[in-house]
Structure 1
Amino acid sequence: MAINPTALANVNGTLLPPTITGPIFNKAAEQSAVMSLARRVPLSINAQTAIPVPMDIPVADWVGEGGAKTGGQAGVGVKTMTGKKIALLVPVSDEVASTNPGGLYDQLEQDLPTAISRAFDFAAINGKSLKTGGAGPFSDYLALTSSTVALGTGAQSNGGLYNDIVTGAGKVVDKNYDFTGIAADPRFKIDAQLQTDTQGHPLFNDEAGTLAGFQTFFNKGVSGKYWRAGDSVQTITIAGTPTGGTFIVSSGGNSYTAAYNVSAATLQSAIQAWGGVYATVTVTGTAGSSYVITFPAVSTNIASAAAPVTVNGKALTGGTNVTATVAASGAGGTDSLLRGIGGDWSQAAYGVGMDITIKVSQEASYYDGSTWHSAFQENLTLLLVEAYFGFVMGSPDAFVAYTKGTAAF
């Protein structure tokens, strides 16, 4: 007799199974630059209890026979860590939720660590919410440091970016802290790989996972820019002077077949009709030649701030060597211009509440940043996933911030 697959609604309780929870937290720690460098300390199971966290090593001293002994707490600063909730609403198809809950858990195990690590790194470093740009959950965050180095400050003849990194390390060591590593945006690595000496030889020949000999971990949450959001200005160019046919403009699962000489106003109306993030775009340009698609300015990192546009001009006719291309420019979401935080990572600690709760609804509505959706009407199952994390920092003087400066990226 065939056995029906277990439906998600039949899973007992609201906690994800430990076999799923463990890998999610482990992968989040692996992907998070901050978690990879900072100390992990225990956090209560429900993360509601404030936990004292010593941020230094106790000071021992010499005493004579019968002399007063030094108290162990002397010289030890104590910070209080409280768990803060991170949440994510995940819409999935009813068919997937009811027929393949195992596959759904696999997908959660794959996607949640990335979402958690980016949000955690941005909050722990910049003190802000990755999505809204507003105040983050932690009163301590690494960008509070007063020590900064702008990348590109060092002249090529003096070591360039290598000089910048070591200068930052010197600012930390000069304040009697150790320099144990860097949490960096991936663009920091590209800037380093582009660096050469005055003879054109690469400056950086580090082992994997290091910059200038310092242990380095990379995560896009460091700067907070969503690379996948698309750029705010995207220009379609029709070359070769076609005299007939059509071209297709596509974005976010939407498409519009345009005449070879469609007006900018007509193309704008067609794109705006897609709704959501496209509702307020503007299109300017010259019919049959070029069209500039501009998304409105944004002040947050909501992923739907802009969307990549593609164009297919295979159906264009006439002209000579006709092509249709798209060039993107402008920002896709906000960029903090921070490229890395380096310092003494014994002065930073994080904690994890070892439970992930999941609530399920097939009737609720949700907001995706631009549009309200009805789960019932759109045949969706909504999964509300919640977890707890904590973060504290000993002293801002233990860290240095590396900013974009004049670096290429």
Structure 2
Amino acid sequence: MLHTSDWHVGRTFHGADLLAEQGAILGHLADLVTAEAVDVVLVSGDIYDRAVPSAEAVRVATKGLRRIRDAGARLVLTSGNHDSAARLGAFAEFAAAGGLHLRTTVSGIADPVLLPEEASEPAVAVYGIPYLEPETARHALGIEGRGHTAVLTEAMRRVREDLATRPSGTRSIVLAHAFVTGGMGCDSERTIAVGGVEQVPGSVFEGIDYVALGHLHGAQVLDERLRYSGSPLAYSFSEMSQRKSVFLFDVDESGVSGIERRYLPVPRRLATLRGTLEELLTSAEHDDVTDCFVSATLIDRVRPVDAMRRLRERFPYAVHLDWEPEGRKEPVLRYAEAVRGRSDVDIARGFLDDCRGAPPSEREDAWLVAALEAAGKHDPGQDGEPA
């Protein structure tokens, strides 16, 4: 089996289109299926990045799924908090006939995919728990309890109840999309907190041979049987140090064994730069990151004009820009104090100075005064200003 999750097909990286990179990484998963003779691919939610994906995103995801299936693996998919469960699960019964098993409904939680299909006594039962939005799910599950722990506890009660009816020795795999205590999040995950609480204890999944978790974008081992595969691509600069991967493992009559982490290729690296604009544009030190997605922090005392356009002349994939002037202390301003006793033109000059670290030039000051006069906000004789 191969455990992956959080594809987020259709997501952009600070506005940069990633469909080509996403298609490439799904193609690599298909190649891995062929190379390792994988029988089943588990995808634990967030197939798409939004509930209504674009036509292009659907095309990329569909092509990726088809390549994995053509490589010889069956697929078990659940919906995540970014997916529309209803849309993703449409035609689930028909898809199952082609080896794509979709688990997107509460009613399907205790309906496992049984493997191998031809055996009279199935050796493995794969249960897919879609992302359960607590308030909606508790009504569908018919429970009084609230929050993520309550709904997942009931979902797992149903899983165990079904598992108890299976032949002795049947092995259990569960897919779940949740934030399990002990996991570490990053900037690209959408919060699923309810009432300030988003985590569930790992003990909820007690007794299962392998729990294929989704939601957190960094690969993590909470314990041997409880793992996050993480997303196959980085979706924020906070993931720059992560090595994206999937988990491969064997399941037989003795249980789960041979768990291995396989690292994925990086279609485009991430880089963070800091310095003056001139340094970033000219220093040979940065020659090796010109093809990376770049986040730059400028430390120029005065905010450079047209900085992003100029950066992209050297770093065409620059996608994020901050300005943190070196040595400048941010004043704590209260509006009433900032404007008290000051004319409109003085307030406007101060605003420009605060925003870019330098007062307006003589020419800019003339424009500013003229604009305020035209708006009826400035008396030409006020404070000795010229007409």
Q: Is TM > 0.5 for Structure 1 vs Structure 2? A: no
The structure with the largest alpha-carbon Rg is 2
* Structure number with higher helix proportion: 2
| TM superposition score normalised by structure 1 | 0.27
> Greater relative contact order (Cα 8 A, min sep 6): structure 1 or 2?
1
Task: Name whichever structure is richer in strand by fraction.
Answer: 1
